[in-house]
Structure 1
Amino acid sequence: MALRELRTLYWRNGSLYLLDQRLLPWRERYVRCTSYKQVARAIKEMVVRGAPAIGVATLYGMVLAAKGTKARRSERLREAAETLKSTRPTAVNLFWAVDHMLGVAENAMRAKKDVFKALLEEADRLAEQDIETNKKIGENGAGLIPDGSVVMTYCNAGGLATVGYGTAVGVIRAAHESGKKISVIVPETRPKLQGARLTAFELSKLGIPYKIITDNMAAMLMSRGDVSCIVVGADRVLAKTGHVINKIGTLSLAISAKFFGVPFYVAAPLTSFDFKRGPEEVKIEERSIEEVLNFAGKIIAPRGSDAINLAFDITPPALVSAIITEHGVYEPDGLMTLERYSRAVSGP
């Protein structure tokens, strides 16, 4: 199946279908969700992952909550909102999607319109818009990557983390599609191996040369001059301060990049921006220690071992060269100028 045909999610006949990313690259299988509780479980268990993709899945979760009889519809939507918000606390797109859909439902009820239809139409519109937004990010960032570059990315910020095309991988893809001869270094990204499993999977389908490395090899490659630049995605960008919250390990890459003079870029849509909070106000998700102590279904540590499994870290603005958005390329200290777009933004 070609990548352009491989949708991270889609709606069909009253159900949401999510590509089960836990099975990639070995199997391509979709999970059918017929209730918001199933969507919430899929988000929590990382059937779907990546901030933009989680946001769009949440939109459809709210659609499913509105499905059925009008009785208790408002209550169902409130219950769905709380359930979905409880799944993963760090990615801002999820929270935006819930609040946005509650507003759409409220407006539809006030206007005595069909709430389910209004929510479904909005979810469909925003899902398609996500792809166009990512293409703009790709176009805006491609110019930062010189011909012949060796680009390092991290985790998976490609089409699988969005509805399609991707953010950080979208920048790489746009540079490749413009005719530049580039190659990519893909850190494996422990403990879920989103780099080795997912980013390599996408690059393979796109025909972009890549090499997978262990996470602890990245600094050594930078020290030898083997990395031209780094492009990562973001689960939340704090516009007030310029901090970037992304997959755990991003901070280590940024520190190494700063020391060795490697440009460090972040690619993110405006819907991943938080214009209200500072770094101390964001809850960093901590996941099960079993993800660290087990690999491919096998225990890799002595029984009874304890572990720490933070899912994200926070990169300070001094380590970020630029942030690539659908509205252009910005320095970390100039992000609040984007707030004027956020007031009119309509995406998850």
Structure 2
Amino acid sequence: MEEKKKSILDYDTVALDEENHALVIIDQTQLPYQTEILSLTKQEDIWNAIYLLQVRGAPAIGVAAAIGIYLSAREIKTADFTDFYQEFQKAKDYLDSARPTAVNLSWALNRMEEVVLKNKEKTIPEIVERLHQEAVEIREEDIWVCKTIGEYGLTLVNPGDGLLTHCNAGQLATVKYGTATAPMYLGQEKGYHFRIFSDETRPLLQGARLTSFELKESGLDVTVICDNMSASVMRKGWVNAVFVGCDRVAANGDTANKIGTSMVALAAKRYGIPMYICAPTSTIDLSTISGEDIHIEERPAEEVVEMWYEKPMAPDGVKVFNPAFDVTDHDLIAGIVTEYGIARAPYTESLKEIFKKKEEALKAEEKDT
């Protein structure tokens, strides 16, 4: 019998190779042309993988960072806690510098640092093992978080709906299910027969290369459109809801997501289509007051004028503006879907309520254990 060809969804987006002590990722810069699995052990290689978008998507970056800092801790050769902690902080700051906009990177690294500080009375090998356990737990949590976001998201739509998404907030951006695509995958399991429109997402084409690829592999009905076509398909009545992910949510509900998201939000508002942000609570940063306070990463000009072309497509020496993200104002957002419920305006209040639910759930979980 002929062996069934592996789907991209059969691979782990990000994982820990316990035997070889390595971070294992799909090199997403090679998709959809080839599936290349990278096994990374050096901090420089892990930093580059995050910066170069070989591993990308806020949740996946967080998991990769947790595994990466654990692997770094394994290499620290000292029995003294002060020396260990000093080297740990150096490694943490280094990894944290790879991508400034996605809050999950610093969130995961800070969570790993808390493990170190809570166990400072233990031996270094015991601390390293606690870091190992935490990295594995962060990865497993991501699967539960995404599935739960999908379940909440599914309550917002109906069978047969047309859904539009921008960039890639799919399984390739997380461990499993994705965030914005989680309702799509769960709906597929229930026979909802969604029609999905996937923006190309210039300039790196994560929608065309990644989202359409994984959705097609899973059997979903997906159509790729250029970024400037979203208003046209909305005007035709083909879109009933927009689901996108994000890399940071401010306290007032402003969100930073892949460049072009704000244009989708404006078009959706014009045509009365609800736009939902699918955001794990790890992506919500209540210390950031508004979108004005979110640092937007700028990337090389080559991504715009050279990357996909045989020859440069713009005149030599022309100026290029290439922000990786833009901010969608909270008044354009119908709801923020989290693993602890759906936040609605005013977000300054509802996001606090989401965190109260999270705190209560964690306390109940600790009590049970």
Report the TM-score range of the alignment, normalised by the length of the smaller protein: over 0.9
Q: Which residue type is aligned with residue 68 of structure 2? A: G
- SS, match of residue 138 in structure 1: helix
**Per-residue deviation, residues 234-259 of structure 1 (Å, max 9, x unmatched):** 11111x21111111111000001001
1:106 to partner: Cα distance: 2.1
Q: Could you say if the C-alpha distance between residues 64 and 344 of structure 1 is closer, same or farther in structure 2, counting changes exceeding 3 Å?
A: farther
Q: Could you say if the C-alpha distance between residues 29 and 345 of structure 1 is closer, same or farther in structure 2, counting changes exceeding 3 Å?
A: farther
> Do 2:9 and 2:217's aligned partners in 1 also have CA atoms closer than 8 Å?
no
For structure 1, which segment, 38-47 or 105-114, has the greater mean C-alpha deviation from structure 2 after superposition? 105-114
Q: Which residue of 1 aligns with 2:365?
A: none
1:345 to partner: Cα distance: 8.7
Q: Which residue of 2 aligns with 1:11?
A: 16
Q: Could you say if the C-alpha distance between residues 253 and 270 of structure 1 is closer, same or farther in structure 2, counting changes exceeding 3 Å?
A: same
Q: Which residue of 1 aligns with 2:32?
A: 25
> Any residues of structure 2 matched to 1:233-312 within 5 Å, and which?
233-238=245-250, 240-278=251-289, 279-296=291-308, 298=310, 299-312=312-325
> Do 2:167 and 2:211's aligned partners in 1 also have CA atoms closer than 8 Å?
yes
1:37 to partner: Cα distance: 2.4
1:28 to partner: Cα distance: 0.7
Q: Could you say if the C-alpha distance between residues 35 and 122 of structure 1 is closer, same or farther in structure 2, counting changes exceeding 3 Å?
A: same
The separation in 1 between residues aligned to 2:302 and 2:121, in whole angstroms, is 47
Say whether residues 1:160 and 2:172 are aligned partners. yes
**Per-residue deviation, residues 141-180 of structure 1 (Å, max 9, x unmatched):** 1121111111101100000000111000111111221221
Matched pairs, number: 345
Say whether residues 1:317 and 2:330 are aligned partners. yes
- SS, match of residue 335 in structure 1: helix
Q: Which residue of 1 aligns with 2:355?
A: 339
> Any residues of structure 2 matched to 1:1-348 within 5 Å, and which?
1-12=6-17, 13-71=20-78, 72-112=83-123, 114-238=126-250, 240-278=251-289, 279-296=291-308, 298=310, 299-333=312-346, 334-341=350-357, 343=359
1:59 to partner: Cα distance: 0.2
1:341 to partner: Cα distance: 4.4
> Do 2:298 and 2:323's aligned partners in 1 also have CA atoms closer than 8 Å?
yes
CA-atom RMSD, angstroms?
1.6
1:297 to partner: Cα distance: 5.4
The separation in 1 between residues aligned to 2:102 and 2:359, in whole angstroms, is 19
- SS, match of residue 246 in structure 1: strand
The separation in 2 between residues aligned to 1:262 and 1:68, in whole angstroms, is 51
Q: Which residue type is aligned with residue 234 of structure 1? A: C
> Do 2:8 and 2:35's aligned partners in 1 also have CA atoms closer than 8 Å?
no
1:9 to partner: Cα distance: 1.3
> Do 2:8 and 2:214's aligned partners in 1 also have CA atoms closer than 8 Å?
yes
Q: Could you say if the C-alpha distance between residues 345 and 166 of structure 1 is closer, same or farther in structure 2, counting changes exceeding 3 Å?
A: farther
> Do 1:143 and 1:175's aligned partners in 2 also have CA atoms closer than 8 Å?
no
Q: Could you say if the C-alpha distance between residues 69 and 329 of structure 1 is closer, same or farther in structure 2, counting changes exceeding 3 Å?
A: closer
The separation in 2 between residues aligned to 1:174 and 1:107, in whole angstroms, is 38
Q: Which residue type is aligned with residue 301 of structure 1? A: A
> Do 1:275 and 1:339's aligned partners in 2 also have CA atoms closer than 8 Å?
no
The separation in 2 between residues aligned to 1:69 and 1:263, in whole angstroms, is 50
The separation in 1 between residues aligned to 2:272 and 2:219, in whole angstroms, is 29
The separation in 2 between residues aligned to 1:33 and 1:264, in whole angstroms, is 37
The separation in 2 between residues aligned to 1:190 and 1:130, in whole angstroms, is 27
- SS, match of residue 168 in structure 1: coil
TM norm structure 1: 0.95
Q: Is the radius of gyration larger for structure 1 or structure 2?
A: 2
1:93 to partner: Cα distance: 0.5
Does 1 or 2 have the higher relative contact order (CA < 8 Å, sep 6+)? 1
> What stretches of structure 2 of length at least 5 have no aligned partner?
1-5, 363-369
Q: Could you say if the C-alpha distance between residues 41 and 332 of structure 1 is closer, same or farther in structure 2, counting changes exceeding 3 Å?
A: farther
1:344 to partner: Cα distance: 7.3
> Do 1:59 and 1:123's aligned partners in 2 also have CA atoms closer than 8 Å?
yes
> Do 1:271 and 1:345's aligned partners in 2 also have CA atoms closer than 8 Å?
no
Q: Which residue type is aligned with residue 266 of structure 2? A: I
- SS, match of residue 295 in structure 1: coil
> Do 1:243 and 1:332's aligned partners in 2 also have CA atoms closer than 8 Å?
no
Which consecutive segments of 4 or more residues in structure 1 shift more than 3 A?
341-346
Q: Which residue type is aligned with residue 36 of structure 1? A: Q
Q: Could you say if the C-alpha distance between residues 69 and 258 of structure 1 is closer, same or farther in structure 2, counting changes exceeding 3 Å?
A: closer
The separation in 2 between residues aligned to 1:317 and 1:27, in whole angstroms, is 38
- SS, match of residue 120 in structure 2: helix
